Structure 1
């Protein structure tokens, strides 16, 4: 454990000048485009939940949007807590080790998942998320994993990548038949609780390489933007 206080540690590594970090779950350095979240080991990978302090949740939700929409890096450090006699949760030290992680969104709950956990996975027809061979990590939301929505999308568009046109069956024969990823077009920041996915309007089939490029650097670009990048590169 560090001899620094938590506030001193956060101020030092993030270049900030807080008098206190009490009540805050996250901290932002805009010049470095970094967000630092405290991670309580008792919460697993969860870094933000609506069941926590309303003020703290609202404050950190702004940081979540910067990770999703502006490509900020997600960093975490581990904290420890203990219960007092009244059952209240109190700070009980921290580990001054900073780790870069990948943001995973599950409704109103946000997780910081170890990068090696999200590597080498591909989305399959069963709805599992196994991104095999991808060199970059991908955040796959529940809409991309839903097997019924996925199949409805593929029934409409088929199994060719809608961005680069790659055909797995043509290249790999029977082994590549009906293999493809499905990408969710609507930005996560625009999804509300009552949102219901439209498989034809909101999902498109994409190859793993294009899927990686769409989600790269912690924020998502549109399929048209990626098509333009490919076209400009080939000119």
Structure 2
């Protein structure tokens, strides 16, 4: 699998699935734009990268801010002249309660990052992807199709939205030669739960999987790269589940 001379934007590239995907794209020859709010984490990922600095672009940006989303796409095209693949990986997990009245604050925060920013970046990237006949890979979650808990509804709503948007965008952009797909991970060893402040850990989900294991970020990155590669040219509007069987629980 080769991405030589392909330009790939990966959001959430400072850790977890995004970092694993960015490193794998770079290893396969891509010129990678790594986007994350945490510049220090981006530098840590760059230190692991096999490519030279001139083949990478690190952008510390908050994708929930409209001006920052514009900057990401513009700086990508300014540096590399094109865009071939957009990987919408950035996401947050927050808990909110209807009974306690905190759900609306959670709704605004989570939807702005997990769904609105994803749709905006897709919109801004589309003219360049049409030109390159590129593709988009969105990161969903098994939360889109199963209830994770009483106070986790907003996260589930955001990921269900990601999947519906993926299908809708695939339907609209197909005639322009742009493919749009999503990966639906189950529990993965990332920082998303730790960053949320919840006491839940990914290991808490192990007994719920059919094969008794938690995925590593690289496993999800492998599927991302498969979908982004030209070998997957017949795949669009699809949701690929990588969850160790948890949705069948």
TM-score, normalised by the number of residues in structure 1: 0.28
Structure with the bigger RCO (C-alpha within 8 Å, sep 6+) is 2
**Higher strand proportion (structure 1 or 2):** 1
**Higher helix proportion (structure 1 or 2):** 2
Instruction: Pick the structure with greater CA Rg.
Output: 1
